[in-house]
Amino acid sequence: MRKYVLDLTLKSNERLREGYFLLKLTDGNPLPPMEPGQFAELKVDGSETTFLRRPISINYVDEQQNEVWFLVHEVGDGTRRLGTLVAGDRLNVVLPLGHGFTMPSSASERYLLVGGGVGTAPLLYMGKRMAEAGCRPTFLLGGRSAGDLMQLDMFRALGDVCITTEDGSAGERGFVTHHSVLSAASFDRIAVCGPKPMMKAVAAYARSKGTECEVSLENMMACGVGACLCCVEKTTEGHVCVCKEGPVFNINRLLWQ
Partner 1 sequence: MAVDLSVNIGDLFLKNPVMTASGTFGYGLEFADFIPLEALGGIIVKGTTLHPREGNPYPRMVETPQGMLNCVGLQNKGVDYFCSHIYPQIKDINTNMIVNVSGSCPEDYAECAERINELECIPAIELNISCPNVKQGGMAFGVTAEGAASVVKAVRAVYDKTLIVKLSPNVTDIAGIARSVEDAGADAVSLINTLMGMVIDIERRRPVLSISTGGLSGPAVRPIAVRMVWQVAQAVKIPVVGLGGIMNARDAVEFLLAGASAIEIGTANFIDPTVTLKVIRGIEDYLERHGCRSVREIIGAMEC
Ligand X SMILES: Cc1cc2nc3c(=O)[nH]c(=O)nc-3n(C[C@H](O)[C@H](O)[C@H](O)COP(=O)(O)OP(=O)(O)OC[C@H]3O[C@@H](n4cnc5c(N)ncnc54)[C@H](O)[C@@H]3O)c2cc1C
Ligand Y SMILES: Cc1cc2nc3c(=O)[nH]c(=O)nc-3n(C[C@H](O)[C@H](O)[C@H](O)COP(=O)(O)O)c2cc1C
| Residue 222 sits in the site that holds partner 1 (CB under 8 A) | yes
| Residue 230 sits in the site that holds partner 1 (CB under 8 A) | yes
Q: Using CB under 6 A as the criterion, which residues of the chain lie in contact with ligand FES when the complex forms?
A: 221-224, 226-231, 241, 243
At closest approach, how far in Å is the CB of 127 from ligand X?
Answer: 15
Report phi then psi at 3, rounded to 5: -105, 150
Which of 90, 244 has the CB closer to partner 1? Answer: 244
At closest approach, how far in Å is the CB of 83 from ligand Y?
Answer: 28
8-state DSSP, 78: H
| Residue 256 sits in the site that holds partner 1 (CB under 8 A) | no
| Residue 232 sits in the site that holds ligand Y (CB under 6 A) | no
Sign of CA pseudo-dihedral 34, 35, 36, 37:
negative
Contacting ligand Y (CB under 6 A), which of 52, 152, 230, 232?
Answer: 230
| Residue 75 sits in the site that holds partner 1 (CB under 8 A) | no
Q: Using CB under 6 A as the criterion, which residues of the chain lie in contact with ligand X when the complex forms?
A: 39, 50, 54-57, 71-73, 75-79, 118, 121, 218, 220-221, 247
The residue of the chain with the least Cβ separation from ligand Y equals: 228
| Residue 27 sits in the site that holds partner 1 (CB under 8 A) | no
User: Choosing among partner 1, ligand FES, ligand Y, none, which partner's interface includes residue 133 (Cβ < 5 to 8 Å by kind)?
Assistant: none
At closest approach, how far in Å is the CB of 227 from ligand Y?
Answer: 8
Cα(89)–Cα(47) distance, integer angstroms: 15
Report phi then psi at 222, rounded to 5: -115, -60
Picking from 72, 74, 69, 77, the residue whose alpha carbon sits closest to that of residue 119 is 72
The per-residue DSSP string of 134-200 comes to: T--PEEEEEESSGGG--SHHHHHHHSEEEEEETTSSSSEES-GGG-THHHH---SEEEEES-HHHHH
| Residue 181 sits in the site that holds ligand Y (CB under 6 A) | no
Query: Residue 256: which residues within 8 A CB-CB, separation 6 or more?
Result: 200, 203
Cα(40)–Cα(58) distance, integer angstroms: 7
